Amino acid sequence: MRILITGGAGCLGSNLIEHWLPQGHEILVIDNFATGKKEVLSGVEGVTVVEGDISNKAVVDECFDKFNPTHVIHSAASYKDPEAWEEDTRTNVLGTINIAKASRRHEVERVVYFQTALCYGRPEEVPIPVDHPARPFTSYGISKTAGENYLMAAADLPVVSLRLANICGPRLAIGPIPTFYKRLKAGQECFCSDAVRDFMDMSDFLELMDRIVCEETPRGVYNISTGEGHSIKEVFDQVASYLHLENEVEAPVVPVGEDDIQAVVLDPSKTEEILNWKAKVSFRETIRRQLEWYDRHGVNDIYSHLSRPAK
């Protein structure tokens, strides 16, 4: 396969590269390195890296014309500043349109879109079924959902849109796990929102991606999740226990902010049925593997799509 990955220096994209490259696939990455780390892809033999913005149609078209991909993994996203509406729109909407049109022109075999679970907004039921109405209210969620809508409106595009739980693995730089690990290692105080989230190990995600790109996965939208919800306090307790601080630290639990959602847990039953796939790694093991990776490699920048709480 000739696989074009947008946002290939990010957590998901870089893990896919490490997973697929030994299998002999050709890979081209487009990344502006706004959140991804350039050094992750530096000197990696077999990967062509183009530093550029997918909102630039000329950049996208040139990459497609030279590389002629058979598969496209659209992982690029703008999310780190909740007030950057224009940038979110350029990347998540216009950039997605550019990818969709180029994919159509080159008749790619598969387009895989990484969608945020925040597309559902504040859900009416939890776990959230895949046919739940999309009601995003943040810039990130609104723009990512608009991008998904454009892709799904192109009936001739072989699109699979994955609405993702919190995927944990190498280079994870968002969410409570790296935040708690970094702060507790530094002797800093922590607090927990009373939110509930679903967490999934990278190995389960990579197994699913192999099926999606190599098999005849029906076009459509899928929830990717264990289906199990865990509180942020549970995450804190796991991190504290791992660091042998469970009897030394406390973290008060506070209500979620106005721009956050109390419970986001996806129902993967349709995905499990159609794709004959099910996440296998437990919550405790997922957190342990993530923390072991931080022990070896450390934690770099930590991003969030949420606004900073008012002081």
Residue position matching structure tokens 């630039």: 56
Query: How far apart (Å, rounded) are the C-alpha atoms in residues 213 and 35?
Result: 25
Query: Considering the entire predicted model, what is its pTM?
Result: 0.94
Instruction: Report domain extents, the chain.
Output: 2-167+201-224, 170-198+227-264+281-297
Q: Tell me, what's the pLDDT at 308?
A: 43
**Long-range contacts, stretch 209-213, CB < 8 angstroms, 24+ apart:** 209/16, 209/19, 209/73, 209/112, 210/19, 211/275, 211/276, 211/277, 212/110, 212/112, 212/160, 212/162, 212/275, 213/1, 213/3, 213/71, 213/110, 213/112
Query: How far apart (Å, rounded) are the C-alpha atoms in residues 197 and 96?
Result: 27
Query: The tokens of 178 are what?
Result: 């790296």
Name the DSSP letter for residue 213.
H
Name the DSSP letter for residue 120.
G
pLDDT truncated to tens, each residue of the chain (311 aa)? 999 999 999 999 999 999 999 999 999 999 999 888 888 898 888 999 999 999 999 999 999 999 999 999 999 999 988 899 999 999 999 999 999 999 999 999 999 999 999 999 999 999 999 999 999 999 999 999 999 999 999 999 999 999 999 999 999 988 999 999 999 999 999 999 999 999 999 999 999 999 999 878 999 999 999 999 999 999 999 999 999 999 999 999 999 988 899 999 999 999 999 999 999 999 999 999 999 999 999 987 655 443 444 44
Cis before 82 (ω within 30): no
The CATH number of the structural domain formed by 170-198+227-264+281-297 is: 3.90.25.10
Q: Tell me, what's the pLDDT at 303?
A: 53
The CATH number of the structural domain formed by 2-167+201-224 is: 3.40.50.720
Q: Tell me, what's the pLDDT at 305?
A: 47
CA 235 to chain centre: 19
Q: Tell me, what's the pLDDT at 302?
A: 53
Q: Tell me, what's the pLDDT at 37?
A: 84
Beta carbons within 10 angstroms of residue 165's beta carbon? 25
Residue position matching structure tokens 């014309």: 65
Beta carbons within 10 angstroms of residue 239's beta carbon? 29
Q: Tell me, what's the pLDDT at 301?
A: 66
Q: Tell me, what's the pLDDT at 216?
A: 83
